[in-house]
Amino acid sequence: MKIVFIEPRSSGANVYSKIPMPLLGPVYLGTILRDRGHEVVIHHEDFHAPDYSRLDADLVCISILTATAPRGYEIADSFPREKVIIGGVHASLMPEEALLHARQVVVGEAEEVIADIVEGKNREPIVRGRPVENLDALPFPDFTLVNGFRSRIPIVPVSTSRGCPFDCSFCSVTKIFGRRYRFRSAENVMAELTARGKQKYFFCDDNFTANPARTRTLLTMIEEAGIRGWICQIRCEVARDKELLDAMARAGCRIVCIGFESVNQKTLSSYGKRQSVSQIVHAIRSIHRKGILIHGMFVLGGEDDNAKTVWDTVRFALREKLDTLQISILTPFPGTRVYELLEAQKRIFTKDWTLYDGHHIVFTPKLLSAKELQVAVLKAYMRYYSLTRTFFSLLRCRFRDVFFRFMGFMILRKWRAHNRRMSWIADA
């Protein structure tokens, strides 16, 4: 059977448009089906957008995020409905909506049900996936199935765990993967890395160091293999474990991505983050002392945030010398507690899913207007990624900073041009 997986393109400019990586879900599923004898091709529209009118496929499987859902539905509607299966985060949160465009919708993890769906053994309109208990049993995802992979993907994503026990009010991860951690063994992860060779890796777990003992074992293996320059996502508490932080540095960790979320303690509490501003500062300084770069991520627009919070955030980022900054506007993704609260209060003013990307305001904040928050965040970004700061970094021969700041400046420039239709963008 000829099976095509499609990952729709993102709707606007963002950092991921500069460093594109395919979602792991379609690659895992494609690999499973390939191993069962099916002919599989994966199209990631940020790499390669085929002519769908000429696409030869028995089945079309589309994976959608909330922001890419409208594009995914557009693609689905270009095929006969009986050929289309839709899955992914947004489909898992809004299965009835997705079912309007497909014969079947998969909710949650699909690895253990995809073969039955494709081969006609499960014909339920909405198929509930099952959590994969033994992650080591999964095949290593074959990225060569992705059209254009070899020439377009500079960093290879690797997942070593699933689930998250934390319950941040704005996060949809636990709706998909649950609140219980499941881990691949260090040996299994290392076998995948060894098979791939010395490439740049992004460990896309929500918390790479969630199991410190397993992580230490894996770090030792990575160090011995000479794999350097990798990236991961962690939480602030890693700074409390000096030995683990030392091991990350020795093993060649180049960048950590950390969801600090806010410099407003009230907002941290309302988000359900179990950390303080002082712990954030301690983490940044401890990690920097090890020579590891930090991509700091913040979410603005909580019930206790105002315009001052936005500027406090960018001043904090500059003072603590965060290497790159990501400021997301609070986004009420369907199924999250934030969505339920704002929907009940009738404060969500648009269901245009293309705007649900963390860069657009889609609800009425409590302490400032939607326009004020949108403009403040954009201006804060422009201050952090200004050409002036880029120039001074160049004068100091800090070429790494020059690269990141100029890339940020270009993304902002493209984003503003793309969003001229939003009347208040001109005010920024």
Q: Are 192 and 360 in contact (CB under 8 A)?
A: no
Q: Are 339 and 333 in contact (CB under 8 A)?
A: yes
Question: Do strands 182-183 and 161-162 pair parallel, antiparallel, or not at all (unpaired)?
Answer: antiparallel
* CA dist., res. 120 & res. 141, Å (int): 24
Among 29, 23, 3, which Cα is nearest to 129's?
29
Q: Please report, as a single letter, which amino acid is at residue 218.
A: L
Q: What is the pLDDT of residue 391?
A: 66
Among 325, 419, 330, 328, which Cα is nearest to 366's?
330
pLDDT score of 21 more than 90: no
Lowest mean pLDDT among 103-112, 117-126, 257-266, 268-277: 268-277
* Site of tokens 């954009």: 378
* CA dist., res. 76 & res. 69, Å (int): 10
Q: Please report, as a single letter, which amino acid is at residue 355.
A: L
Confidence of residue 426 (pLDDT cuts 50, 70, 90): very low
**Going from the N-terminus, what domains does the chain have, and what CATH number goes with each?**
2-128 (3.40.50.280), 155-384 (3.20.20.70)
pLDDT digits (tens, 9 = 90+) for 170-199: 777 777 787 789 999 999 999 999 999 888
Distances from the Cα of 265 to the Cα of 270, 275, 277, angstroms:
9, 9, 6
Average pLDDT, whole number, for the chain?
A: 89
Confidence of residue 122 (pLDDT cuts 50, 70, 90): very high
